Amino acid sequence: MNSLGFLVNPYAGIGGPAAWKGSDDPALAARVRSEGGQLTSPVRAERALAAFLQSFPAASIFTGPKALGQELAPMASVLHVDALSYSPDDTRALVAAMQGKVSLILFCGGDGTARDVAAANISGVPILGIPAGVKMHSGVFARSPERAGQAAAAFLKDPDHPVELVEILDIDEAERRAGRLSAQLFSVARSPVARGVRQNPKAGGGDLLAETDAALAEYVRRMEPGCLYILGPGTTMNALKDRLGGGRLLGVDLARDGAIVDRDLSEEQLLAALADGAPARIVLTVVGGQGFILGRGNQQISGRLINRVGPDRIDVICAADKLNALNPQELTVDTGDVALDARLAGYWQVTTGPGRRQVVRVVH
C-alpha cells in the first residue's frame, strides 16, 4: 500500500479575513459566505497537490466527493460519504473510509480539521496538514502548501521514511472572540519526520521583557503624525495597544496620532480605512515557537492589504529571547499570495529593544 489520502475542508479559514477568529461555528461560516467571503482553502489545497504531483506524478490517490477533494483531484479514486454537508461529520467519515487504503492522509484545513482527522484515524495512519485555517497551533501542519505536497511525496516514495508523534491542539473559538485564549491538547498523531517542513506547535507569549516594553515606548514616540497604523494581534502588540488607549488582544486594530481609532477589523474594513490615501504602516510581532509573522491568526492583514500599504512599510517588534528560541532561526510569511510571499522573503530587521535591531531571515 503506497497511496495518498487527500482531504479538503473547503470552508477552512473562511473566518480569518472576516475577523471571526475561526471557522468552526456553522452559523458564522454561513454568515461569512453570505457576505461574499472567499474560499481560500481549495486554492491552498490545489497548490499542495500540484507540488505533490510534480514530485510523484504516478501516485495513487484516494479522496472525497466534490469539494472534499474530487474537484481538485479528478484523477483520484473517490470514496463515498453519506449525506454530504461539508461539516466535520464529512471529514470524519472520509478519514474512516481511508483506513486500510492509504499510507498517508494529506488534509487541508486548520486545527478544527486536524482534530476531526485525528479522531477518526483509528488505525493511526500518518497525517500531514496543509495550512488553511485561522487557528493553526498544532505541530501537524507544514509551513506552506508547497512544503506539504513535497513532504507527502517524499514520504510515499520512501517505504522506510520515519514518523514522529506531534500534538493536536485547538482553542475555544468563543473564548478567542472574547479576547481570551483557551488552548487544549486534544490528542497526538503520527506525522512524517521532515526537518524544516512542519511548523512547531505554538508557544505561549509569556511576560513582556523590559527591553521589549522599552522598545514599544520608543515606537510610540516615533509614530508619524497622520499615519494610519495597522496593529496585528498578540501579546506584544496588545502591550503596544495599551499605550495607545487599549485594543483587542486577538484582533487587528487601527491607531492614528497616538490613539486607537478602531478595533477588531476585518480585511474589508481595513481596506476601506485606507481609501483616503493617507500613509499607513503595518506593525506585527512573531508567533512564539512557530516564527510566523503573516498567515497565522492575522489573515485580515491580507495580500491585498499589504500591497495597498506597501511591503516595505511593515514593522516587526519581538523580544530577542523569543527570536533566539526559534528552531529553525527564521521567520515565515504565508499570505496566500505566492508572488507577494516571494517578494517579502529575504532579511528583515526586527526591533528587539530601544535602538536595537536583529536581522532575521524571512522565508515562505
Domain borders along the chain are 3-192, 210-363
- Reduced to 3 states, what is the DSSP secondary structure of residue 354? coil
- Please give the CATH number for the structural domain made up of 3-192: 3.40.50.10330
CA distances from 276 to 158, 264, 268, 279 (A): 55, 20, 14, 9
Average of per-residue pLDDT values in the chain: 88
At residue 118, the pLDDT reads 94
pLDDT in tens, 61-100: 999 999 999 999 999 999 998 878 888 999 999 999 999 9
Q: Which range, of 191-205, 272-286, 347-361, averages the lowest pLDDT?
A: 191-205
At residue 78, the pLDDT reads 97
Q: Give the pTM.
A: 0.76
- Residue identified by cell 514593522 is 315
Whole-number percent of the chain with pLDDT over 90: 66
**23 pLDDT more than 60:** no
pLDDT in tens, 114-161: 999 999 999 999 999 999 987 677 889 998 999 999 999 999 999 899
pLDDT in tens, 324-336: 899 888 999 999 9
Hey, what's the cell of 52?
A: 505533490
Task: Write the CB contacts of 37 (distance below 8 Å, at least 6 apart in sequence).
Answer: 14, 15, 17, 18
Q: Determine if residue 189 is left, alpha or beta; phi over 0 gives left, psi from -120 to 50 gives alpha, anything else beta.
A: beta
pLDDT in tens, 201-238: 655 554 456 788 889 999 999 999 999 999 999 989 99
At residue 188, the pLDDT reads 85
How many angstroms separate the CA atoms of 244 and 164, rounded? 45
At residue 207, the pLDDT reads 45
The pLDDT confidence band at residue 182, using thresholds 50, 70 and 90, is: low
Contact indicator for 110, 171 with CB cutoff of 8 Å: no
The pLDDT confidence band at residue 18, using thresholds 50, 70 and 90, is: low
The pLDDT confidence band at residue 50, using thresholds 50, 70 and 90, is: very high
Task: Write the CB contacts of 207 (distance below 8 Å, at least 6 apart in sequence).
Answer: none
Count of Cβ atoms closer than 10 Å to residue 44 Cβ: 25
pLDDT in tens, 256-271: 999 999 999 999 999 9
